[in-house]
Amino acid sequence: MRVYRCVLQIRSPTVISNERGARGFYTATEALPGYTVGGAVNRALFGSVSPDRMLVSSPAYPVLNGHKTLPAHTFYYKCKICEGLVVSTLREANLLELMRHGWEVVKERLIALRDEQSHPLKSLHPRPVTPQGGRAARVAVQSIVSIGMNRHAAASQIGLLYEYTAIEPGQEYWFTLASSGGSEIPDEFDVKIGRGASRGYGRAVVRVEERFTDPPLDQSVGDEAAFYAVSPIPLRFIAGQINLAECSSRYGLKGVDGVLEPIYTGGRPAAFGRAVRKMVAGWPHGASVSRERIDCLSAGSIVAYRWRQRPDDQARALAALRYFGAPVRLDSGYVDGFCMLYPFSREPLEEVV
Ligand SMILES: [Zn+2]
C-alpha cells in the first residue's frame, strides 16, 4: 500500500461543478470531491483510469496560511462573541461510553448551545477549519458568465446564459493519494481539473510532499470504534455494512478484509452529521458524462461501528478504510473517494493523519 500526501495549486480559474442549478453550476470551492481530483490525477499520469494502476484520492481541502484544514465535525463550535474561541465537546467525552446511556445523554453532553460565559455557540460543521484555533477556510472565487453555445448552429443560444463560480489562481488544497503499490509517481505534475479545460480553465499543479509505504493505523481499536469521516459517507454504509473485502478486490489490496456494521442506539444508527442529499458523481461514459446522485452524510460526520467480522490484519484494514475508503457501486459502475473513515479516541481534528 502506497500513500502520498499532496498539495494541488490552482493555476487558472477553476470550475468544479457539483450540481446544476437554474443559472449555472454550483461550484465546490471549500472541498474538491475525491472522485474529481482522482479522475484528474489518473488522466494526467496514466491517460485514463485503469484498475491496476489506479490512484484513489481523498477530497482536497484548502490550505489556509500554510495550515491544512479539515471539515469541522458535528460537535465543533465557535463562539459568536469571543474571537477565535472554539469548543469541541468530544474532547471531554467518550462517545462510545455515552451511547450506552442513550440518546438523551449523548445530546446533553455533546450538543452545546452556549460557552462558559453564556455566549451563543455556532456549529462549524462541515466547513473546513484549521485544527489549531479553528479558523474557517475562505476560498477566493470569481464569477464567470458565459453564453451557452449551440454546437450545431455555431451560434449563441438565446437565453442560455451560464454563471459559474471559479476558484481563483493561487489557492492551494491538500489531499492524499493511495495505490496498492507498483509504479512510483513524480514529485510534481500538471493536471487539468474541472470544466472548460480546452478554454484554459482548471490548470493546476500537484506536488507530492510525503510518501508512505504501508502507513500504520492501529489506534488500539477494540470491538467498537468511533470514526471521523474524512470524505462524505454514502448513507448505504450507515444503513448497512462496510465490507472491506470489496476494497481488496476493487483496489488490489492483498490482506484487507473484515466487516463493519453500524452501532445502534435506541433503534437508530449512531451517525452524526449533515445530510448531503444531492451529491453528484460524474464520469465519462462514451461521448457524454453520466451523472448519478449519492445520498451522503457530509465529510466531518462522526459515526460509530463495530466489527461484525474482525480483520486478519486490523492495522492494514483501517489504513485501507482511511486512504481508499469503500468503493460505491452505482448502476453505471464504481465511484471512488467516499467513505474514508478514521478511528479516533477524543478529538479527531487533532488526531487524524
Ligand atoms: Zn464566548
pTM (2 d.p.): 0.90
pLDDT of residue 20: 53
Over 80: is that where the pLDDT of 202 sits?
yes
Ligand 1 geometric centre to CA of 119 (Å):
5
Q: 3-class DSSP state for residue 249?
A: helix
Torsion of CA 231, 77, 343, 212, to 10 degrees: 60
pLDDT score at 160: 61
Ligand 1 centre and the CA of 121: distance in Å? 8
For 309-325, what is each residue's pLDDT tens digit?
999 999 999 999 999 99
Distance 129 CA to ligand 1 centre (A): 18
Cα distance between residue 61 and residue 8, in whole Å: 10
What's the pLDDT at 29?
Answer: 74
The pLDDT of residue 58: 97
Residue 9 near residue 172 (C-beta atoms within 8 A): yes
According to the model, what pLDDT value does residue 208 have?
97
Angle 339-169-352 (CA atoms, 0-180°, nearest 5)? 30
Q: For 132-172, how does the pLDDT look when each residue is reduced to its tens digit (9 = 90+)? A: 777 877 888 888 777 665 556 555 555 566 677 889 999 99
- Tell me if 76 sits within 8 A of 133, measured CB to CB: no
Which whole number is the average pLDDT over 302-315?
A: 95
Task: Give the SS3 label for residue 57.
Answer: strand
Cα 108 to middle of ligand 1, angstroms: 19
Model confidence over 4-36: pLDDT tens digits?
999 999 999 998 865 555 555 555 678 899 988
DSSP states of 176-193 as a string? Answer: EEEESSSS---SEEEEE-
| Distance from the alpha carbon of residue 124 to the mean position of ligand 1, in angstroms | 15
At residue 298, the pLDDT reads: 92
Q: How far is the CA of 120 from the centre of ligand 1 (A)?
A: 7
For residue 114, the CA-to-ligand 1 centroid distance in Å is 8
Average pLDDT for residues 48-68, to the nearest whole number? 85
Whole-number Å distance, alpha carbon 92 to ligand 1 midpoint, is 18
Q: How far is the CA of 344 from the centre of ligand 1 (A)?
A: 27
Bridge partners of 17, per DSSP, are 27
Query: Which one has a higher pLDDT value, 265 or 286?
Result: 265
* Per-residue pLDDT, 292: 73
pLDDT tens digit sequence for 74-125: 999 999 998 888 889 999 899 999 988 888 898 899 999 999 899 999 999 9
Q: Under DSSP, is residue 110 helix (H, G, I), strand (E, B) or coil?
A: helix
Please give the Cα distance from 149 to 151 (Å, whole number). 6
CA of 138 to the centre of ligand 1 (A): 22
* Predicted pLDDT at 51: 62
Distance 62 CA to ligand 1 centre (A): 26
Based on its alpha-carbon atoms, the radius of gyration of the chain, rounded to whole angstroms, reads: 21
Q: Which of 300, 317, 221 is closest to 61 using CA atoms?
A: 300
136 C-alpha to center of ligand 1: Å? 17
CA distances from 304 to 198, 241, 311, 323 (A): 44, 12, 17, 18
